[in-house]
Structure 1
Amino acid sequence: MKKLEKVNYKGFIWPLIVGIVLWCITPWRPAGLSVQAWEMFAIFVATIVGCITKPLPIGGTTLVGLVFTVLLGLAPMKDVIDSKGVVVNQGVLSSFGNSAAWLIAMAFIMAHGISKTGLGNRIAYIMIEKFGKKSLGIGYAITGLELILGALIPSNSARTGGVVWPVVKSVSQDGYNSKPNDSSRKKIGAYVDFTAFHANILSTALFITGAAPNMVAQQLAAQKGYQMSWAGWFLTAIVPVAVATIIIPFVIYKMYPPEIKETPGAKKWAEGKLNEMGPMSTPEKIMSAVFCLSIILWVLSGFFKIPQLDATFVAFLAVSLLLITGVLTMKDALAETGAWNILIWLSILMFMAGKLISYGFISWFSKLVQTGLHGISWQLVLVVLVLLMFYTHYFFASGTAHMTALYLPFLSVAVATGAPLGLSAMLLAFTGAFNASTTHYANGPASILATTGYVKQSEWWKMNFVLGLLYLIIFGTVGTLWMKVIGVW
């Protein structure tokens, strides 16, 4: 007999309570807000809370939020067009044309090719072979691997779960008999595990395609008139990330030292793995060529405003090439559930955020805070907003939900108080990348690497608190000065 699928019904409690309470106080809403603006806010907040409590996977949760948006009359299914052909009310179906969501979906499918062909593992083994003579070297090798993968795999969870964690596990257990949930965990496994997590943070911060929250920031910043391109983001991030790449693995090494300092066996282990793989296969060569082409076109798209170089089109082109050459099949593409999942929930969340803008909620909030912060320098306001963006992540289990909820309001407040648009947009976006240095549930990679048994939860929180301060200092000082040099503000 078939059974019903398991649903976390308890997860619906808080979203319903929050949504109903906010909806019921509509008659007493703040002055200056329309009924529609407040009601849309109620649904949006309830949906974000649902993304945190997870009664359903995030795609299902956002679909429920979208259904309520239509049922309560806050958006039609199709666009409403006036007699002149102008869209006067955007329908929910139009949300699924969101370019950022499609870019990430296609990039997920491209990432499937890296895993399928074995290219990701080959890159990992080469890095260990070249830099794995010492434990510190392995830490830097893992970091370098993540930085490379950050340009190739747009999902930080996919990079960690699909490529980096298997390498960490193999190096630790197969190479040095350092096992999780065992006294041997600190031989080398704990250090490499924790370093791998922070390597993921750095790779996320370096590329606009490094993780979904970056793409959310790109879309929301565009609504304030600031355009983030692949090349522009990379140029802005390169210096603070480079500084952090030098400092972070070394600080972890000193703060959380492995018992094994020399690792001569890592090189031999990696060589053995490469010998097992043999020379690059034809699928690997094609995959490498397609990804190199994609990166080149993404870079060029930041300099030349040619429709054919649109970042989303480049991703479609890459997937098409992989299908045409036989590296991937349509079955592979359809089986990449992460791609279609993110296409649903990111499109819906972006649609809801857009409705908050069109109904005037964001402009009202911006004016409210601007009035409250009257007389305070924009520099201090921006510092406070960055700190809030960072430390409020203790209350979020999703970087995307956090970014969707707070980025645009915070950016609006910063600009309204006189802060430069470019500086505010990029600092807040970077903070959305490195605020994962908080909890063991901060994002997907944290959920993976904090539960391996190598790092205790108390250790995770304590060390991340220290490293979080380092990120804030590096991006707040080096990042700000670098953005001044290159003319971001």
Structure 2
Amino acid sequence: MNEKDQTAASRITRGLIAVVIGIIIWSLPAPAGVKTEAMHLLGIFVATIIGLILTPLPMGAVVIIGVMLTGLTDTLKVGQILSGFANNTVWLIVAAFLLTRGFIKTGLGRRISYLFIRAFGRRTLGLAYAIAASDLVLSPATPSNTARAGGIIYPIVRGLTGTFGSEPGPTARKIGSYLMMMEYQAVIVTSAMFMTAQAASPLLVELAKKTANVTISWGTWALAGIIPGLLCLIITPYLLYKIYPPEIKETPQASALAHAELEKMGPMKKSEKILLAVFLMILALWVTSEWNKLDATVVALIGVGVMLLTGVISWEDVLAEKGAWDALIWFGGLVMMATGLNQLGFMKWVANSVAGSVAGLGWFSALIILVV
């Protein structure tokens, strides 16, 4: 069997695992107070989640199949099936992806990173803090942490490591492995600090609203995440420097390289200035949403509208942002299924069952049980 056939067989096997588990759950009797359709939808939902984990197909394709099965089996009506794609949180993510496109297209993301490196990059530890600071500044408007870390910051870090002769392999420990590890740690922290710093976070917000009637605003999330996040970003570079030390400690070339790159980029272009103003406006409106009463999605769409009107991005850029439309499909489909489970009584049954099992326990014990 050649490699192509092995890959196809592996995909089929992974797909069958998801299907079998979904059928088993579909066939389970519904608990008291839960409709039969809820168990059917749960089977489709769990199969979809397993499909997203095992990836027999791309994420969007897996969710589309789940959406199709929901309609084909008459588990939900067509209006309910398509409701997730009209969800405001889904469109918040789409708009944020388009903001990311602006950062990449204009070069503002690179400029911000080079400014931090020029300021703090004379020592390896300073470089690590510059990487963390760059990720922090960009994270509120880049829901694709892959685009943020891989599309903006990684090429810069890769260029730096090459300057110091640190490549994958025997020379990695010179400086490259430390900086790459630092960016990995930084993107994990910043992704949790803001609701729009990774695509999965708004899904959690939507699930909390649908299942527990708990509303979490952008500002509330940021307020909860900013202190622990900043502490992690302050501690992690130094801690990693001690437990995974680079061989090169002094890096004056990094600051010089950043200065040279900024000289090459020249003064801020008009498009960069507009995008910076839009970014600051969006952040201000998100943070003050409790007072201005503007929905976070409306604010993000205002930003996209301004970028289109001023030519920061074009309609072709919007159409080319595959991540946005992929997120619309898989995010909308999952929101629809979660909403359906709530409407059919399954989430209420789960909440009551869990509440009964943790009643009388201390908060820490209850937390451990819920996490497990």
Which TM bucket (shorter chain)? Answer: over 0.9
Q: Describe the shift of the 1:15–1:248 C-alpha distance in structure 2 as closer, same or farther (beyond 3 A).
A: same
Query: C-alpha deviations, 1:398-425, integer Å up to 9, x for none?
Result: xxxxxxxxxxxxxxxxxxxxxxxxxxxx
Equivalent residue, structure 2, for 1:12: 15
The answer to whether 1:373 aligns with 2:358 is yes
> Counterpart amino acid of 1:52?
I
Give unpaired runs (5+ residues) of structure 1: 1-5, 79-90, 389-489
Equivalent residue, structure 1, for 2:202: 215
Equivalent residue, structure 1, for 2:100: 111
Query: C-alpha deviations, 1:73-125, integer Å up to 9, x for none?
Result: 111112xxxxxxxxxxxx21222111111111111111111111111111111
Q: Describe the shift of the 1:369–1:229 C-alpha distance in structure 2 as closer, same or farther (beyond 3 A).
A: closer
Q: Find 1:350's aligned residue among 335, 349, 365.
A: 335
Shift of 1:300: 2.1
Report if aligned partners of 2:82, 2:336 keep a CA contact under 8 Å in 1: no
Report if aligned partners of 1:191, 1:253 keep a CA contact under 8 Å in 2: yes
Equivalent residue, structure 1, for 2:3: none
> Counterpart amino acid of 1:376?
L
| Alignment size in residue pairs | 363
Report if aligned partners of 1:103, 1:311 keep a CA contact under 8 Å in 2: yes
Q: Take 1:263 and 1:385, find their aligned partners in 2: how far apart are those partners?
A: 46
Q: Take 1:354 and 1:322, find their aligned partners in 2: how far apart are those partners?
A: 33
The answer to whether 1:197 aligns with 2:184 is yes
Shift of 1:301: 1.5
Q: Find 1:324's aligned residue among 301, 305, 309.
A: 309
Equivalent residue, structure 2, for 1:121: 110
> Secondary structure of the residue that 1:220 maps to in structure 2?
helix
The answer to whether 1:295 aligns with 2:286 is no
> Secondary structure of the residue that 1:259 maps to in structure 2?
coil
Shift of 1:154: 2.0
Q: Take 1:176 and 1:257, find their aligned partners in 2: how far apart are those partners?
A: 15
The answer to whether 1:339 aligns with 2:324 is yes
Identity among equivalent pairs (%): 40
Report which structure shows greater RCO (CA 8 Å, sep ≥6): 2
Q: Take 1:135 and 1:37, find their aligned partners in 2: how far apart are those partners?
A: 55
Q: In proportion to residue count, which structure has more helix?
A: 2
The answer to whether 1:250 aligns with 2:238 is yes
Shift of 1:272: 0.8
> Secondary structure of the residue that 1:75 maps to in structure 2?
coil
Q: Take 1:236 and 1:51, find their aligned partners in 2: how far apart are those partners?
A: 29
> Counterpart amino acid of 1:118?
G
Report if aligned partners of 1:104, 1:342 keep a CA contact under 8 Å in 2: yes
Report 1:426-445 matches (<5 A): none
The answer to whether 1:57 aligns with 2:58 is yes
> Counterpart amino acid of 2:355?
Q
Q: Describe the shift of the 1:374–1:316 C-alpha distance in structure 2 as closer, same or farther (beyond 3 A).
A: closer
Q: Take 1:92 and 1:29, find their aligned partners in 2: how far apart are those partners?
A: 21
Shift of 1:172: 0.7
Report if aligned partners of 1:149, 1:203 keep a CA contact under 8 Å in 2: no
Q: Take 1:280 and 1:344, find their aligned partners in 2: how far apart are those partners?
A: 36
Report if aligned partners of 2:33, 2:345 keep a CA contact under 8 Å in 1: no
RMSD: 1.6
Report if aligned partners of 1:291, 1:318 keep a CA contact under 8 Å in 2: yes
Q: Take 2:236 and 2:369, find their aligned partners in 1: how far apart are those partners?
A: 24
Equivalent residue, structure 1, for 2:158: 169
Shift of 1:59: 0.8
> Counterpart amino acid of 1:255?
I
Shift of 1:30: 4.0
Give runs of ≥4 in structure 1 deviating > 6 Å.
none
> Secondary structure of the residue that 1:208 maps to in structure 2?
coil
Query: C-alpha deviations, 1:317-364, integer Å up to 9, x for none?
Result: 111111111111111100001101101110110110111111111111
TM superposition score normalised by structure 1: 0.72
Q: Take 1:363 and 1:282, find their aligned partners in 2: how far apart are those partners?
A: 52
Report if aligned partners of 1:232, 1:302 keep a CA contact under 8 Å in 2: no
Equivalent residue, structure 2, for 1:399: none
The answer to whether 1:101 aligns with 2:90 is yes
Give unpaired runs (5+ residues) of structure 2: 1-6
Equivalent residue, structure 1, for 2:41: 40
